[in-house]
Chain A
Amino acid sequence: MSAISPPAPAGRSRSSDRRRRKGSGSLPALLLVPSLIILLGALAYPMVWQVITSFQKFGLAQQFGQGADFVGLENYRRIVTDGEVWVVVLRSIGFCLFCAFTTVLIGGLLALLMRGVGTVTRAILQVALLLAWAMPVVATMTVWIWIVDWRRGLLNWALTHLGVDASGHNWLASPTSFFAVAAAIVVWMSVPFVALSISAALTQISPEVLEAASLDGATGIQRVRYIVMPLVAPVLSLVLLLQIVWDLRVFTQVKFLQDAGGFANQTDVLGTFIYRLGTGSGDFGTASAVSVLMLVLTLLVSWPYVRSLLKESV
Chain B
Amino acid sequence: MTPQTLKKALLSVLALIVAALWAGPVYWMLNSAFLDKITLSSTTPQFTPLGGSGDNFVAVIKDSGFLRALGVSLTVTVITVIVAIAVAFLGALAISRFTFRGRRSFVIALLLIQMLPAEGLFIAQYKMMSSLNMLNNVLGLSALYAAAVIPFTIWMLRGFVAGVPPELEEAAMVDGLSRTQAFLRITFPLLAPGLVASGVYAFLQCWNEFTVALVTMTEEQRRTLPLWLRGFIQASANREIDWGQVMAASTLVAVPVIIFFMLVQSRMSSGLVGGAVKG
Contact = CB atoms under 8 A, between A and B. Distances in A.
A97 interface: no
A251 to B, nearest CB: 5
A306 B45 CA distance: 48
B261 A46 contact: no
B261 A134 contact: yes
Nearest to B265: A130
B104 A314 contact: yes
Interface in B144-165: 144, 146-152, 154-156, 158-160, 162-163, 165
A43 B121 CA distance: 8
Interface stretch (A21-29, A72-80, A83-91, A209-217): A21-29
A197 B207 CA distance: 24
Interface in B12-26: 12, 14-16, 18-23, 25-26
A7 to B, nearest CB: 5
A9 B208 contact: no
A305 B103 CA distance: 19
Given A271-B119, A295-B117, A32 B106 contact: yes
B253 interface: yes
Interface stretch (A175-183, A187-195, A221-229): A187-195
A67 interface: no
Contacts, number: 403
B262 interface: yes
Contacts of B48: none
B98 A24 contact: yes
A186 interface: no
Interface string A5-36: 11111111100100111111001110110110
A5 to B, nearest CB: 6
A142 B28 CA distance: 11
A197 B236 CA distance: 37
A62 to B, nearest CB: 12
Contact of B128 (A49, A271, A299): A49
Given A9-B159, A13-B162, A135 B104 contact: no
Contact of B96 (A20, A114, A252, A305): A20
B205 A1 contact: yes
A5 B236 contact: no
A144 interface: yes
Contact of A305 (B23, B115, B209): B115
Interface string B238-279: 001001001101110110011001100101111111111111
Nearest to A301: B115
A10 to B, nearest CB: 3
B18 A113 contact: yes
Given A113-B11, A256-B233, A298-B116, A308 B124 contact: no
A4 interface: yes
A152 B163 CA distance: 54
A45 B14 CA distance: 52
Given A49-B128, A125-B15, A204 B277 contact: yes
A147 interface: yes
B137 interface: no
Contact of B210 (A2, A27, A47): A2
Contact of A46 (B26, B125, B257): B125
A60 interface: no
A115 B234 CA distance: 43
Interface string B173-189: 00000000000000000
Contacts of A238: 273, 276
A105 interface: no
Q: Which residue, of B41, B116, B247, has the highest number of chain A Cβ atoms within 10 A?
A: B116
A71 interface: no
A31 B91 contact: yes
Contacts of B233: 141-142, 145, 256, 259-260
Contacts of A154: 28, 45
A50 interface: yes
B147 to A, nearest CB: 3
Given A9-B275, A136-B257, A245 B119 contact: no
Given A110-B18, A116-B11, A306-B111, A270 B119 contact: yes
A240 to B, nearest CB: 12
A291 interface: yes
A248 B117 CA distance: 9
A93 interface: no
A129 B124 CA distance: 36
A50 B119 CA distance: 12
B209 A1 contact: yes
Contacts of B121: 43, 46-47, 50, 291, 295
9 contacts: A31-B91, A116-B11, A117-B15, A125-B15, A132-B25, A196-B269, A197-B269, A260-B234, A302-B115
The 10 closest A-B pairs by CB, nearest first: A10-B159, A8-B271, A42-B147, A249-B117, A46-B124, A278-B123, A271-B119, A312-B275, A128-B19, A31-B94
Interface of A: 1-2, 4-13, 16, 19-24, 27-29, 31-32, 34-35, 38-39, 41-43, 45-47, 49-50, 53, 110, 113-114, 116-118, 121-122, 124-125, 127-147, 149, 151-152, 154, 157, 188, 191-193, 196-197, 200-201, 204, 231, 234-235, 238-239, 245, 248-249, 251-252, 255-256, 259-261, 270-271, 274-275, 277-279, 284, 287-288, 291-292, 294-295, 298-299, 302, 305-306, 308-314
